[in-house]
């Protein structure tokens, strides 16, 4: 018989570990230790999504570039040229791309996360793992796209002679906030979708409405200074303005970022907590 290593990282799975199975009792906080123990599953599932994404497509990974660039061109024509929306002195394509980058990530993330749990019904009813792995997996392939389109943006900036600045160093921190917000909203929607499939139809509508409430195609400076804090109650406003500052080198609106971070943090905690409350019943009601 094999001897399981007790102590160190393997403790979680070791023989000394007693799993107690009891009826669900309401709200539970995120079990980070367990999540960490299942990190290899997270990796395997994320890898699957990335690999499967572009199988049997002719253009393959080029789609990660084509999608945002096309959106940039259309938005530039419609909002930059026709509507004449100001872009704080930056070339409109660069301005809008810097906003589209985090927005596309967010919109795709809550879309895929929202349907992810229902889409993984076959796993949920047959195997145990922390259910939070599923929404986390959906983040993975979005990150790959985000990395690719960030590269594209850096190239476009060279073309329009917008210099790269030290502000870029803030991008990873902003990304963390962005992921947190996407996870909070996404997990909430995915848990609700399990019980009420109506939410499938709510998500696309929600994304569209949210886009208008977020300074993606317009700058936050369009809102009178006195009311700008209202805009930042939408955490996406903070992250998108933040990304824009990071890429374009304009100063950060720290007050705005703080408001967004607080609201985003609450969304994250709320979404994950609700998910944790209902996740054990998924297999029964899915």
Partner 1 sequence: MSMPAIRVEGLWKQYQVGGRERPPESFREAVTRAVAAPFRRLAGRAGASQRDRWFWALQDVTFTVELGEVVGIIGRNGAGKTTLLKVLSRITPPTRGRAEVRGRLGSLLEVGTGFHPELTGRENIYLNGAILGMKRAEIRCKFDEIVAFAEVERFLDTPVKRYSSGMAVRLAFSIAAHLDPEILLVDEVLAVGDARFQRKCLGKMDEVSREGRTVLFVSHNLAAISKLCGRGLVLGEGRLLVSGNTSEALRAYSKEVSGSHDLPSRNFFGPLTGKLQFRGVSINGLQGDDDVRLSPSEAVRIAVWGASTADLPSYRTTVSIYKDGQLVISRHDAAEPDPLPRGDFESEVVIPPYFLSPGEYWVEFGGYTTETGAWTWSRDQVRFHVIDEWSKEYDTLSNMGVVNLPDAGRRVHRG
Using CB under 8 A as the binding rule, whether residue 27 contacts partner 1 is answered as no
**In the block, which residue shows the tokens 């796209």?**
145
Binds partner 1 by CB under 8 A, chosen from 50, 65, 85, 123: 123
Contacts of 92 (CB under 8 A, 6+ apart): 76, 79, 80, 81, 85
Minimum Å gap between C-beta 104 and partner 1 is 24
Binds partner 1 by CB under 8 A, chosen from 5, 6, 13, 159: 13
Give yes or no for a contact between 141 and 49, defined as CB atoms under 8 angstroms apart: yes
Using CB under 8 A as the binding rule, whether residue 81 contacts partner 1 is answered as no
Binds partner 1 by CB under 8 A, chosen from 36, 128, 159, 229: 128
Using CB under 8 A as the binding rule, whether residue 78 contacts partner 1 is answered as no
Hey, what are 232's tokens? 């930042």
Minimum Å gap between C-beta 11 and partner 1 is 11
d(CA 240, CA 49): 26
**In the block, which residue shows the tokens 């949920």?**
124
Contacts of 232 (CB under 8 A, 6+ apart): 220, 238, 253, 255, 256, 257, 259, 260, 263
Q: Given the complex with partner 1, which of 14 and 83 has the nearer CB atom?
A: 14
Q: Binders of partner 1: how many residues, by CB under 8 A?
A: 37
Using CB under 8 A as the binding rule, whether residue 194 contacts partner 1 is answered as no
Q: Given the complex with partner 1, which of 16 and 163 has the nearer CB atom?
A: 16
Whole-angstrom CA distances from 190 to 16, 121, 177 are 35, 12, 20
Positions in the binding site for partner 1 (CB under 8 A): 1-2, 4, 13-15, 17-24, 40-41, 43-45, 47-48, 51-52, 55-56, 122-129, 280-281, 283-284
């Amino acid at each position: 018989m094999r001897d399981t290593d007790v102590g160190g990282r393997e403790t979680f799975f070791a023989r000394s570990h007693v799993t107690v199975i009891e009826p669900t009792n309401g709200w539970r906080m995120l079990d980070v230790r367990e999540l960490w123990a299942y990190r290899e599953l997270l990796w395997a599932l994320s890898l699957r999504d990335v690999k499967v994404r572009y199988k049997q497509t002719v253009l393959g990974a080029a789609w990660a570039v084509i999608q945002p660039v096309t959106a940039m061109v259309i938005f530039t024509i419609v909002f930059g040229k026709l509507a004449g929306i100001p872009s704080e002195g930056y070339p409109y394509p660069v301005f809008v791309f810097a906003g589209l980058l985090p927005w596309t990530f967010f919109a795709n993330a809550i879309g895929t996360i929202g349907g992810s749990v229902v889409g993984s019904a076959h796993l949920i009813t047959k195997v145990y793992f922390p259910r939070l792995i599923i929404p986390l997996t959906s983040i993975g392939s979005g990150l790959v796209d985000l990395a690719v389109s960030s590269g594209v943006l850096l190239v476009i900036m060279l073309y329009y002679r917008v210099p790269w600045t030290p502000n870029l160093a803030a991008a990873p921190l902003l990304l963390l906030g962005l992921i947190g917000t996407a996870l909070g909203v996404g997990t909430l929607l995915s848990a609700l979708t399990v019980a009420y499939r109506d939410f499938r139809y709510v998500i696309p509508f929600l994304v569209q409405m949210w886009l208008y409430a977020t300074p993606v195609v317009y700058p936050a400076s369009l809102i009178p200074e006195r009311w700008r804090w209202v805009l930042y109650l939408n955490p996406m406003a903070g992250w998108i303005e933040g990304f824009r500052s990071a890429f374009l080198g304009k100063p950060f609106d720290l007050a705005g970022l703080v408001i967004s971070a607080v609201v985003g943090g609450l969304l994250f905690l709320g979404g994950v907590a609700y998910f944790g409350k209902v996740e054990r019943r998924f297999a029964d009601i899915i």
